[in-house]
Amino acid sequence: MRSFPLFTDYEPFRTWRADPAQWLPIALDIARSHGLACAAPHVFATGTNIVMALDEKLILKIFPPFLRSQFVSERGSVAQLRGQLRIAIPEIVVEGERDGWSYLVITRLPGILGEQAWPSLPEEEKERVLAEIGETIAEVQRAPIGALARIEPDWGTFMRGQIAGCRARHERLGLPQKFLRGLDELLRDAAALIPLDKPPVILTGEYIPENFLLRRDGDGWHLAGLIDFGDVMTGWGEYDLLGPSAFMTAGMPRRVRSLFDGFGYSDGDITPNLKRRLMALMLLHRASDPVRKICIEGWQERAGDLFELQDLLWPI
């Protein structure tokens, strides 16, 4: 039987993963070893790890050794959040290891992937879904963190590391100079604005369309489920407002208001300090890349500096 190869970083793994012929026989053997049927496997091309549907009910996720932390986060998060949310999350059916690679078999949730459905939703239904996302973020953050408290790095260590590497990151990613000019001042503000010692909450870091499912009921579209907990950490709750802010609100006041209302923020909470903190957190996010990930048409021309950009992102 073929064995999994050894990888130490992501790019060679990503290239290898892109050719299912390299790993599908091993994945099918894993399924068979647990007595799981897999008559018509479906490979998901997106995501970080190997993900395939065994059938209409089960998903197999396989994590290479250098991404074992994502396996630990996914397994721990699904266990910790079970029974805590009104919407569905996967349940673990099987877990195991092959050649040092960890894997989970989880239940497959019903619904339409957000990235497929979101673009065609009517505007009023986008606002409703954003409110439900805000509610779900708050609900996740009310859950006890339990064993997730042991996930590393802790919030303070993570933020200090992100601040130290922020300028180099955004220079490398091509953030326009007019925004880079204000970055050092923003990072000085961040040290005071971003709490490092408050009780942490569960953060997924990725409330984005490819990580949730939607369903269509008699009154339209609703949030139906959350998937992919591989990047879960714990920390300051506003961090999880950034995914929807970058990918979904599009700088539209009613959408932003819907997200914040669902999260539990009133008009009185929407202060200049909040916007400044969110701007800092967006640039410090683990996946931050404004040039490619702020979904506002023409934002680089419409904002002259980071202050104007934060007002463009959160115009309320």
CA–CA gap between residue 140 and residue 201 (Å, rounded): 8
Q: What is the pLDDT of residues 34-44, one digit of tens each?
A: 999 888 899 99
Of all residues in the chain, the percent with pLDDT exceeding 70 is: 100
The overall longest dimension of the chain from CA atoms, in Å, is 62
Place of tokens 């006041």: 253
The answer for residues whose C-beta is within 8 angstroms of residue 24's C-beta and 6 or more apart is 41, 43, 52
User: Among candidates 175, 235, 227, which has minimal Cα distance to 206?
Assistant: 227
Residue 45's pLDDT band, with cuts at 50, 70 and 90, is: confident
Using an 8 Å Cβ cutoff, are 240 and 205 in contact?
A: yes
Using an 8 Å Cβ cutoff, are 24 and 43 in contact?
A: yes
Q: Average pLDDT for residues 125-145, to the nearest whole number? A: 98
The sign of the torsion formed by the CA atoms of 148, 152, 155, 156 equals positive
Domains and CATH numbers, the chain: 10-107 (3.30.200.20), 112-313 (3.90.1200.10)
Using an 8 Å Cβ cutoff, are 314 and 252 in contact?
A: no
**What is the residue-wise DSSP string for 217-274?**
ETTEEEEEEE---TT-EEE-GGGGGHHHHHHTSTT-HHHHHHHHHHHT--GGG--HHH
CA–CA gap between residue 175 and residue 182 (Å, rounded): 11
- pLDDT at residue number 37: 86
Would you say residue 68 has pLDDT above 80? Answer: yes
E strand or H helix that includes residue 105: strand 101-107
- pLDDT at residue number 40: 83
Q: What is the pLDDT of residues 176-210, one digit of tens each?
A: 999 999 999 999 999 899 999 999 999 998 899 99
Identity of residue 9: D
Q: Average pLDDT for residues 158-166, to the nearest whole number? A: 96
Residue 2's pLDDT band, with cuts at 50, 70 and 90, is: confident
Q: What is the pLDDT of residues 223-282, one digit of tens each?
A: 999 999 999 999 999 999 999 999 999 999 999 999 999 999 998 999 999 999 999 999
Of all residues in the chain, the percent with pLDDT exceeding 90 is: 92
